[in-house]
Structure 1
Amino acid sequence: MTLTQLEIFSQVAELRGFTAAATRLGISQSAVSHAIKSLEQELGVELFRRHQTLIEPSDIGRQLLLRARAMLGLANTLRQEAADARGMRRGTLRIGSFGPTSSMKLLPAILQRYRALHPGIEVHIDEGPDRQVIQWLDERRIDVGFVVLPEDRFDTFALMQDQMVAVLPTAHPLAAQASLSLKDLCNDPFVLTEAGSSELVSRLFNAARLTPNVRYRCSQLLSTLDVVSRGEAVTLVSEGSLPGGDNPRFVTRPLSPQVPRQIGLAVLDSRQASPATLAFIELARQSV
């Protein structure tokens, strides 16, 4: 068993295909097939279920995938610790990001400084909903992720805080009020954005024993704001995720009582984090 075989196994499982894995790794499809076949023969188990147009990990394959990613992560840490001794000239950093706050407002400035200081580190960024970033951390698909705090399962580092605000069509009757309660948002159709703090929004309503009338679910904040602008729904988002400048088609109102949202970085275990990961966290804390 080699690290190369484990990397190929991990990529095939993630991309659900031999051709896609070969393209990403820059090798031939036959090399991918050979590596998987050799690994299955060595372990004595079938790692994938083959379908006509798709493959997926078997039950034992999913179990071994977590171990393989852990081993690959440790191997990457070893390489980067060695690179750190040489001035961190080489290495890889995998970042998970969600929503406009982290992807558009925090990450660009941090990355600009990081690349200037560590040009030899290859940076990979995956974007998804906040709950997806948590899953990627659990599965060791990323080294560090932007998350909504608190997240007690991980080692976390606070970066910034903003407020949750209600977003209403400009002509909505509630727009005349200075602030709104969660209960006020349960009387109209509600649009839930999956791009940012959807888990936080759900927790807030559940804690208040309220049920919003969710009629829309949008994967992007811009789509959510468009639904509100058309007068079709109201929503609850973080103030920091909103685009700059006034928009005549919707208004924002603070909640009463106020609901803060804290954004930070998370890693599975800071003691096992690579030098490239720790350098990114330290730079992010300085930048923000």
Structure 2
Amino acid sequence: MTLTQLEIFTTVAEFKSFTLAAMKLNISQSAVSHAVKSLEKDLNVTLFVREQNHTTLSEIGNILLMRAHNMLSIQESMIQEAQAANGLKKGVLRIGSFGPGSSSRILPPILAQYRRQYPLINIIVDEGDDESVIHWLQDKRIDIGFVILPDERFDTFKVKEDQMVAILPLGHPLAEYDKVSLKQLCEFPFNLTQAGSGKTVMDLFHAQKLVPKIQFKTRQLLSTFSLVARGEAVSIVAQLAIPEGAQDLVIKPLTPAIKRTIAFAINNESEASPATKAFIKIAKAMHS
């Protein structure tokens, strides 16, 4: 078993395709297949279930994927530690973000400063919903990610306060109120944004034993804003996710207020790679 085999294994698992993994790694598909078969032979297990146009992890493959990510993470940390002895120059930093609020409002100034100091570090930002970022952290697919506090599973530090707000079309009956309640929103067609904090929104309704009239489910916030602007639904989103200068929308605080604290999280700060520690240092200086 080699680290190269593990890298190929994790890439096939990520893309669910031998062909796409070969393209990503810039090697032949036969080389990918050979590496996976050799790894399966070494471990005496079947890692993937191969169908005509579909490749999925087997049960044991899914278990071993986390181990593979751990081993590759240790390798990357060792390489960076060695390079850091002569000044941090090269490496990879993987960041998990849960949407526009974090990707467009929080990350840009931090990344700009980071790139100025460490121009040769390769930065990869993956976007997913809140739960996906947590899973990526737990599986060590990313080095650092955004979470909502409190979260005792990781080492965290606060970066921003945010709140959930209602968004309404212009001229909507609720637009005359200073604040709106979840109960009031239940009287109108509702759009559930499944990106980012979709689960959080439903948890808010369930906590008050309310059921919104969900008529739309969108995966992109732009679709949410468009639906609301056309007067087809109302919705709830994180305030930071709303673009500056958004038009044809009325934004109202919720009552009672529903605030959330956004934080950066890592599995263990003391074991973080040099590239990750450098990012944390910059982020803390900008959000202290």
TM-score by length of 2: 0.95
Q: Does 1:211 align with 2:240?
A: no
The aligned counterpart of 1:283 is 282
**Corresponding letter in the other structure for 1:157:** F
**Corresponding letter in the other structure for 1:286:** A
2: distance between equivalents of 1:105 and 1:51? 42
Identity of aligned residues (%): 52
Aligned pairs, how many?
287
User: Once the 2 structures are TM-superposed, how far is the Cα of residue 57 of structure 1 from its aligned partner?
Assistant: 1.4
The aligned counterpart of 1:178 is 178
The aligned counterpart of 1:108 is 108
User: Once the 2 structures are TM-superposed, how far is the Cα of residue 276 of structure 1 from its aligned partner?
Assistant: 0.8
**Corresponding letter in the other structure for 2:157:** F
**Corresponding letter in the other structure for 1:137:** L
The aligned counterpart of 1:192 is 192
* Equivalent runs, 1:63-212 vs 2, <5 Å: 63-212=63-212
Q: Give CA deviations for 1:75-127 in whole Å, capped at 9, x if unaligned.
A: 11111122222211111111111211111111122111111111121111111
Report SS of the residue matched to 1:271.
helix
The aligned counterpart of 2:53 is 53
1: distance between equivalents of 2:219 and 2:280? 27
Report SS of the residue matched to 1:61.
helix
1: distance between equivalents of 2:199 and 2:156? 17
2: distance between equivalents of 1:120 and 1:96? 20
Q: Unaligned stretches of 5+ in structure 1?
A: none
2: distance between equivalents of 1:110 and 1:119? 13
Deviates more, 1:6-15 or 1:25-34: 25-34
**Corresponding letter in the other structure for 1:235:** S
1: distance between equivalents of 2:280 and 2:187? 42
The aligned counterpart of 1:229 is 229
Report SS of the residue matched to 1:243.
coil
* Equivalent runs, 1:226-265 vs 2, <5 Å: 226-245=226-245, 247=247, 249-265=248-264
User: Once the 2 structures are TM-superposed, how far is the Cα of residue 246 of structure 1 from its aligned partner?
Assistant: 5.3
Deviates more, 1:268-277 or 1:172-181: 268-277
The aligned counterpart of 1:274 is 273
Q: Give CA deviations for 1:152-211 in whole Å, capped at 9, x if unaligned.
A: 222211100022211111111111111111211111111111222223222222222222
**Corresponding letter in the other structure for 2:2:** T
Equivalent residues of 1:69, 1:140 under 8 A apart = yes
2: distance between equivalents of 1:286 and 1:120? 21
Report SS of the residue matched to 2:45.
coil
1: distance between equivalents of 2:194 and 2:264? 19
1: distance between equivalents of 2:25 and 2:246? 45
1: distance between equivalents of 2:221 and 2:246? 16
2: distance between equivalents of 1:141 and 1:23? 20
Could you say what the CA RMSD is over the residues aligned between the two structures, in angstroms?
Answer: 1.4
User: Once the 2 structures are TM-superposed, how far is the Cα of residue 272 of structure 1 from its aligned partner?
Assistant: 2.0
2: distance between equivalents of 1:32 and 1:94? 23
The aligned counterpart of 1:42 is 42
